[in-house]
Amino acid sequence: MTYCVGIEVDEGLVFAADTRTNASLDDVRVYRKLHVFEYPGQAVFAVMSAGNLATTQLALARIQRDVDDAAPRNLRTFRHLFEVAEYIGQVLVSSQVDTAGRPEFEGISTQATLILGGQVAGERPGMYMVYPLGNAIASSPETPYLQVGESKYGKPILDRIIRADTRLEDAARTALVSLDSTIRSNLSVGMPIDLALIRRDDLRITERMRLDADTPLYSDIHANWSRKLTEAVHTLPRFPWELPQD
Amino acid sequence: MTYCVGIEVDEGLVFAADTRTNASLDDVRVYRKLHVFEYPGQAVFAVMSAGNLATTQLALARIQRDVDDAAPRNLRTFRHLFEVAEYIGQVLVSSQVDTAGRPEFEGISTQATLILGGQVAGERPGMYMVYPLGNAIASSPETPYLQVGESKYGKPILDRIIRADTRLEDAARTALVSLDSTIRSNLSVGMPIDLALIRRDDLRITERMRLDADTPLYSDIHANWSRKLTEAVHTLPRFPWELPQD
């Protein structure tokens, strides 16, 4: 499995992804799932991937090749983010080998799902989930985050905190808590965590870091988040029988 | 679906369950999933159920009939909680009609899973998950809670907070937050919530309440938990670029 989350707030975009790839419980490796494409002053994109690793590596290699070869359609030629989503969807579809219906490949899926976020000069930042069929949905004020992979454990914290006016760094801290909750609960999601922030109108990757278990920010979340939650639970209202009696 | 959680702490046991039963998105009803059996001074039990409603209703009716008829084996005759788990497992198995392998019932499951908790005089309290096969596992200091149904959304909050020395009422507040997170995310889990507490050595149901959306304690969680979490996220360490520069 995998867990990647992308968040869109007024101040910009946050991307956070784990790095564990597994074919089975005893075949576990570390692969980057968060990839960035920077054309400073013109456009900036980040792509996170879940699903078949051969598919996502092929798709990313083709996207980079199209830029390097200055192909008629490449990341630098689009004026709108939705066109980038459409292009990436087409690359994704062509990178998925069709194994459906071939009995020797039964149970093997070459599908992958991508989260694309970024900004093209002249537009506001945006974020899309690109499905295996090549179609895409955008994040929105009502749904300001997108998840791929093992999404359930890390969803409640996003629902409770992320609003359009959440500060960019607080959104990033929330993403790390969401990742930490998921890593605790699903062995197929693992450290280190890749994190990237794109501040609105920077038109570059504003900040980028890889967090390991001993990175101070992450080790503090892991060690102290329980205590903060325990305090928060303790400040919830008393039950009727806990109140002083007349 | 369903979501029930049982928590075992040093001070006693907490049981919390939703009440939504659905056959499909447009066939939704309210049914109690938390059932209590009290024999004050002798023994007290609570049973929560997930799975086929006909199965769980039949199992609970048989358990009650065995008590009423003073059957050789009934809830009042056991000296150990593990024997109660064994007995309930047998009742559960016999209440599940075997539809496996009959093509006309393909895709229909009569299976159910139960959480049993309680205390028999002379023993400490305990809690068991009773599986459709009739076998059971107990909660433990390392795993002080048991869940059935849609368990993923509500698991991280339990992992972060529940310890053996958590106060009984704080464990109950945590269970309500866990339920609220799940209700937000899965339409097949719904209000009202049934809650029961068994304080150690009380040998009766210590407290019991049904919480609806407008019950003050619950409406406060629903309205203010986000704010408490937002404050907690904001107190996590700063990123390096947020710190004052030399």
pLDDT in tens, A118-151: 999 999 999 999 999 999 999 999 999 999 999 9
**Nearest-neighbour CA in chain A from B25: distance (Å):** 20
pLDDT for residue B246? 65
**Full set of structural domains in chain A with CATH:** 3-212 (3.60.20.10)
What string of DSSP letters covers B182-207? Answer: HHHH-TTS-S-EEEEEEETT--S--E
Give the model's pLDDT for residue A217. 83
Contact indicator for B90, B64 with CB cutoff of 8 Å: no
Q: What residues in chain B have per-residue pLDDT under 50?
A: none
Which of B152, B186, B221, B243 to mutate against chain A (most A CBs within 10 Å)? B152
Phi, psi of B16, rounded to the nearest 5 degrees: -140, 135
Q: pLDDT per residue over B93-116, tens digit each?
A: 999 987 766 777 777 889 999 999
pLDDT of residue B101: 66
Whether residue A232 lies within 8 A of chain B, CB to CB, comes out as yes
Name the pLDDT band for A25 (thresholds 50, 70, 90).
Answer: confident
* Burial class for B229, CB neighbours closer than 10 Å (0-12, 13-18, 19+): buried
* Averaged pLDDT for residues A169-191: 94
Q: Are strands B43-51 and B112-120 parallel, antiparallel or unpaired?
A: antiparallel
Residue type, A18: D
Q: C-alpha A184: how far from its chain's center?
A: 18
In sequence order, the β-bridge partners of residue A30 are: A20
In this prediction, residue A101 carries a pLDDT of: 66
What ipTM score was computed for the predicted complex, to two decimals? 0.90
Rg (CA), chain B: 20
- What one-character DSSP code corresponds to residue A34? E
Whether chain B has a CB inside 8 Å of the CB on A219: the answer is: no
Q: What is the pLDDT of residue A223?
A: 83
Nearest to A234 among B153, B170, B185 (CB): B170
pLDDT at A1: 82
Best to test chain B binding among A150, A160, A195 (most B CBs inside 10 Å): A160
Percent of chain A with pLDDT over 90: 80
Residue range A2-15, pLDDT digits in tens: 999 999 999 999 99
pLDDT at A102: 75
Is the predicted pLDDT of residue A232 greater than 80, yes or no? yes
